[in-house]
Every structure is written in structure tokens, then in C-alpha cells.
Structure 1
Amino acid sequence: MSKTQVLLVGAAGETGGSIANGLLSDGRFDVIALVRPASIHKPAIQRLSDNGIQIRKCDLKAPEEHLIEALSEIDVVISCVGPAEQQDQIPLAKAAKKAGVKRFIPCGFITVSPPGGVMWLRDEKEIVYNQIRQLWLPYTIVDVGWWYQLSYPRLPSGRVDYAMTSGNDEIIGDGNMPTALTDLRDIGRYMAMIISDPRTLNKKILAYNLVSTQNQIYQLMEELAEEKVDRNYVPEETICSRVVAARQASETYPFDPIKFIPRYLAEYQYSWGIRGDNNPEYAKYLGYHLTTELYPEFQPTDFREYLESVIRGTAKGVYTDRVISRKHQRHFPRTESSDSPIHSHFPADRVQRIPHVAMI
């Protein structure tokens, strides 16, 4: 039986890497990475090739005929582009329609929220979704819970710093808002099932492992580490003020994209921490199908076991090439990568405190 041909955009990123690993491990797919010609010699791309992923060169801004050629004999397209590149997917979707692609997975992979002014990042994605529907292109939209890898607090001893991007020292509101959680590594495993399932065609899917609150996560972390973690509760008024300030500062986008990063970070906190959008019950109300109901046999990575691995020192961090704030640089000494999105958007003299890093 021939394998499904999957073209993956953004295969070198965190989400893209998880999807590549999940599809390759499944064994039913040939994975082809679409790579900008300028990036073809980067070490990350070489690693993809070494892992058995085919490489096709093409820029998303290339002429349509080049995109159609890059999509030759492709069954499924999965896009994992960056936040500022969402609308670059529209030409790719148009080319996919003409090339006869059977399923197009636009870059979702964020927490649940409604469109229309709650999260700018959500609204940018919805523009792409609407274009796909207007094309009558077969699609699946997949969103995920807040990553395990970004959910836990720093320990006073510093022994989990190696796996952290920021100190993650804020509890939003009263800390009791339930939110869906997903292990980053499980996203690829979910995708292997979702893109093979006719029930998910032209549907929205929430792929998540469990529901928890920040207070419960702090309590579990303290229990496993046998350390007391300080609680820094940030009230709703402060979160809302951050959102307003970030929105006002971002009015010059796209000419000054540095101002948009604080906006979508603040809006993440507002959405899942204050509004409570990132909840499976609300997702079903919005029309999502849940992986817990579609695939009851699936065994997700256990959250407790993941935290135990973090404390033991055997977990792998995410975005470890990014310096998020001056406040935490002393806790997270790293060498700044020249191609890190945070480094490129936040020059050394303009870095300000950013509470959390975004997933996409």
C-alpha cells in the first residue's frame, strides 16, 4: 500500500518538528519539507534530511506556478508558519487547490478562542481559514492545549531552569481557571491519526491531553520537587491593562512587528487565563471535535511523569535559543541565536519583560 505524501511547511520549528516526528514514527507517511531556498543549507534543514525527510525548495511568496510544482503529487499539506506569516499561506492554499491536494491543514495549533477581537493571532488565522473555505479546498483545523513545556513554574533551586524559556512566575487571576494542556511531543502523534481520519475532514479539532488549573500545576510541582514555589497572582485588571496597552502600541503593524509580540502574549493570558476560552466544553460550543472523544484509545504523555522528568533533569526544553526578558537572563544564561525570532524582533536595547512565550 502506498504511503500518504505529506508536505510540511515549518518542519524545523517546535510544532513542525513534533509533527514530522509523529508522522515518521507512524510509518504510513512520506514527509516532505517545504523549505525556502535561502534556508536550504542551515543545520536544522540538514537534520531534517538526515532523519529521512525529503526536501523541496520553494518560497511561499514564489509565483503560483512554482508553488503548484512544489505541491506535485502531494496528498496532504500541513502548515506550521510563524505568527507574522499567517497570510502567506493564502497563495499556498490557492496552489494546493489547483494541484489537487486532498487535505490542507492551515497553521492553527494554538489555544481555543473565538474569532473577532479576543486574540489578534486567532483573527489572523481566521482570515486564512475563510480563504480556504472560499476555495472549497478540503481542510482540517487543529488547535491544541497549552503546552506542558510552558505550563510549570520555576523552582527556587533553579534545577529546572535548563528546560525553561522564561521564569513563568505569574498566576493569572485567581489561578483556578481550567485550561486544556497538551504535550508538544504528542501533537505529531495526534496529527498522524487526524489526517488519516475521514471524520475530521472539513472539521475543527482540539487535540489535548487533560484539563488543569495553574494552582493545581503549582501544587503538583511542589509535591514532586519538594520545594515551595511563591505565588505571584496577577489580577484581571492588570491583564486587561496589558492587553489595552499592547493593542494601542501595535497600531503601526506591520511596519513595526516588535510591537505585536507583546500583544499576542497578553491576549493569550487574557483568553485562557481570564476568559477561560481554552476549555474543551467551550471548544465543543464553538464547533470543535475533541480528540478525547474521537480517539479514546490514545495514550497521551502523562503530565505527572513529564514534570518528574523535568525535575530529574532529563526533559527537553523549547525555544531554548531565545532570551525572553532581562529579568530572567541571570536564571537562563544562553547564547542568543542570530536567527531566533525573539532576537530579531527584540534588539538588546529594546528587550522588555514578557510574561509568557507563545506556542506558535
Structure 2
Amino acid sequence: MSRTRVMLVGAAGETGGSIANGLLENPNFEVHALVRPRSVQKPAITALQDRGVQIRKGDLKGPEESLIDVLTGIDVVISCVGPAEQQDQIPLAKAAKSAGVQRFVPCGFITVAPPGGIMWLRDEKETVYNHIKQLRLPYTIIDVGWWYQLSYPRLGSGRTDYAMTTANNEIVGDGNTPVALTDLRDIGRYVAKIIVDDRTLNKMVFAYNTVLSQNEIYDLLEEISEEKVQRNYIPEEGIYTRVLAARQSSETYPFDPVKFIPRYLAENQLSWGIRGDNHPDYAKYLGYLTSKDLYPDFRPHDFKEYLETVVRGTAKGVYTDRYISKAQQRFFPRSESSDSLYTRIFPRTESSDSLYAR
């Protein structure tokens, strides 16, 4: 039986790295990574090579003919590009169609939200999805809920700082809205199943592990740590005010994705925290298949067990180039165009080199 040849775009990012891990664990996959020529010698790329990933040089902004050459012989393309690079997937999709790719997985991998004016980033992705459908390119869209690794608040003792990207100390609304959560480490394991499943072809899939509210997460962390966590509730009207202000400000900018980040963050809180969009029931309403229905025997990482490792000091953090400021204890120092709030979702990186997903 021949192996499925998969091309990863963004294999060195957090989501891309999880997917690379999930594919490399399965001998039925032959894993390739699309990397810009100038990035081939970077440590993250050589580390992938050492693990058996085959590197193919290419540039999403290069000639379409060169992308066709790179994708020739590839069965599945999985894109994990950054928020500012969503439209770069359009020439990639065209090349995939010309190269005879059998399945294209665009850069979804976010919380569930409806298209059309709720979340700017979702609408950026939707433009790509529509283009894929116009090409009649076989596809699968995969969303994954909110990561375990970004879901819990900071402890006053600082014991969890080593694994955190920000203090994450806001509770949206009353904190009782249920939110679907997924361990970053499980994303690749889900993807390895989804991309060879005929049931998921030309479908949307919601892969998630569990559903908890913010208050339940705080309660669980307090139980495990035996520390009281301060609860900073942001009322519903406060979230709507943020969204309105961010939308008004972003509309006055020349298009600059970095300046749209406050809008994305506010709209994201509105979507999952107030509207309750990031929930399996709503995903099914929108037409998603769910991992629970597709793969009932899948055993994900347990959320409580994950929090226990965080408190013990043995968890692996995400975006490890960031750290909690000892001076402020709750925010990250400003760095170029990224500041403490932005780095939670969009850590500063050399865009398109690591091609991070979120």
C-alpha cells in the first residue's frame, strides 16, 4: 500500500508542528514541508528534516508555475499560514488544482464562528474557502476550538508563568458560556484521521476534546493549585463596546493586518464568550461534522490532567519566545509591532518563515 504524500505549509508553527507530529507518528504518511528558500537552513526546518520531513523549496508569493512543480505528486496539502497570509492561499489552491492534489485543507484551525460579519478573521478565511469551491478543488475545512494551552488564567504565585503566553485574566460576560476546548497536541492526531477519511471530503469538521465554561476552568485550576484566582469579569456591554471601537478604528487604517488584531481579539471574545458560537451544537447547525461522532474511540488528552502538569511545572508552553514580565507580572513587554495583548494570538515571528497558524 502506497503512502499518502502530504505537503505541510507552516510546519514549523504551533499548529503546523502538532500536525507534523501527528503525521510522523503514522507510517502511512510521507510528509513534505513547503519552505521558502531563504529559510531552509533555519534550526526549526533542519529539525523537521532530521525527523524525516522532506523539504520542498517554494514561496506562496512566487510564480504559480513554480508552486505547481512543488505540488506535483502530492496527495494532500495542509495549510497553516498566519492571519496576515490568508489570501496567499489562493495561488496555492490554484496550483494544487493544476497539480492534481486530491484534497486541500485550508488554514482553518480556529474557533467555530459563522461567516459574514461576526469575526473578521473568519471572513478572511471564508474568502479562501469560496475560491477553493469555485475551483472545484476537493477540500476539508478543520476547526479546533480553543486550545487548552491558552484557556486558563495566571496564578498569583506565578507557578504557571513558565507555560503561559499572557495572564489571560479576563472572564467574558458572566463566565458561564460553554466553550469547546482542544489540546494543541491532539490537533495533529485528529488531522491524521480526517485527511484519509472519505466521509470528510468536501466537508467541515470540528475537532474538539471537551466543553467547559470559563468559570469551570477557574474552579478546576483553583482546586488543583489550592490557590484563589481573582475573577475579572468583563460585562457583555463592555465586549460590545470593544468590538464597536475596534471595528471603527480598523476601518480608518490602510490595510495593515497587525492593526486589525485588536478587532480580531474583541470579535473573538464576542463570538465564543457572548454568542456561544464555539460549541459542538452550533457547529453541527452550521454543517460541521464533529470528531466525537466521527471518531468515538479517539482518546484525547484530559483537560484536568493537562492543568495538573501546568501546576506541577512539567507542561510545555506555546510560543516559548514569549515570557511573563517580572516587572508587570501580567503583561508582556512591547516588541516592535506586537504588544502584550497581541502576542496571545499572534506572537511576533518572521511571517511566512514559520507560517504560524494563530
Query: Which TM-score tier does this pair reach, normalised by the shorter chain?
Result: over 0.9
Report SS of the residue matched to 1:260.
helix
Change (3 A) 1:304 1:104: same
Q: Which amino acid aligns with 2:74?
A: I
CA contact (8 A) 1:22 1:188 kept: yes
Change (3 A) 1:318 1:99: same
Q: Which amino acid aligns with 2:240?
A: C
2:329 aligns with 331
| C-alpha distance in 1 between matches for 2:5 and 2:343 | 39
Identity of aligned residues (%): 70
The C-alpha deviation readout for 1:247-275, integer Å capped at 9, x for no partner, is: 12212555433311111111111100011
2:43 aligns with 43
1:102 aligns with 102
| C-alpha distance in 2 between matches for 1:304 and 1:58 | 41
2:337 to 345, 348, 357: 345
| C-alpha distance in 2 between matches for 1:5 and 1:48 | 16
Change (3 A) 1:59 1:102: same
CA displacement at 1:306 relative to structure 2: 0.4
**Higher RCO (C-alpha 8 Å, min separation 6):** 2
| C-alpha distance in 1 between matches for 2:106 and 2:2 | 24
Q: Which amino acid aligns with 2:161?
A: D
TM-score of the two chains, using structure 1 as the length reference:
0.93
| C-alpha distance in 1 between matches for 2:330 and 2:234 | 23
Change (3 A) 1:314 1:254: farther
2:250 aligns with 250
2:176 aligns with 176
| C-alpha distance in 1 between matches for 2:280 and 2:161 | 31
RMSD of aligned C-alpha atoms? 1.9
1:112 aligns with 112
CA contact (8 A) 2:331 2:341 kept: no
CA displacement at 1:26 relative to structure 2: 1.8
The C-alpha deviation readout for 1:151-190, integer Å capped at 9, x for no partner, is: 0111111000000000010000000000100000000000
Change (3 A) 1:353 1:77: closer
Q: Which amino acid aligns with 1:271?
A: S
Gaps of at least 5 residues in structure 2 are 347-356
The C-alpha deviation readout for 1:40-63, integer Å capped at 9, x for no partner, is: 221111111112111111000111
CA displacement at 1:27 relative to structure 2: 1.8
CA contact (8 A) 2:143 2:205 kept: yes
CA contact (8 A) 2:4 2:29 kept: yes
The C-alpha deviation readout for 1:268-317, integer Å capped at 9, x for no partner, is: 11100011000100000000000000000000000011000101111011
Gaps of at least 5 residues in structure 1 are 337-341
Count of paired positions: 348
1:116-127 superposed matches below 5 A: 116-127=116-127
CA contact (8 A) 2:166 2:331 kept: no
Change (3 A) 1:313 1:231: same
1:133 aligns with 133
1:240 corresponds to 2:240? yes
1:1-360 superposed matches below 5 A: 1-253=1-253, 255-322=255-322, 330-331=328-329, 343-346=335-338, 351=339, 353=341, 356-357=344-345, 360=358
Report SS of the residue matched to 2:74.
coil
CA contact (8 A) 2:190 2:207 kept: yes
